[in-house]
Amino acid sequence: MTLDTLPLGQEAVITAVGGKGALRLRLLDMGLIPKTAVLVEKVAPLGDPIELRVRGYALSLRKEDARNIAVEVKNV
């Protein structure tokens, strides 16, 4: 599953960060690294971007970029 398909209010753990070059580095610099917990907090009215809670801060990310991040749903 990728981050762009994660439902609102769902928590998951990042398993892999894809993309190439500057995009991948930018995602990693924002704290989106493997084994990090991420929560989808809000979705914009038209569905893009999404707001995530990662490492204690809010991060808005375009769905196009979120497609490069593989996640695994946390079992609660």
pLDDT in tens, 35-66: 999 999 999 998 889 999 999 999 999 999 99
Q: What is the pLDDT of residue 58?
A: 94
Q: Give me 65's structure tokens.
A: 């970029």
Is 19 a residue whose pLDDT tops 90?
Answer: no
CA 65 to chain centre: 9
Q: What is the pLDDT of residue 41?
A: 93
Residue 6 contacts residue 71 (beta carbons within 8 Å): yes
Q: What angle do CA 50, 2, 38 make, to 5 degrees?
A: 55
CATH of the domain at 26: 2.30.30.90
Structural domain total, the chain:
1
Query: What predicted TM-score, i.e. pTM, was given to this entire model?
Result: 0.86
Domain that holds residue 42: 3-73
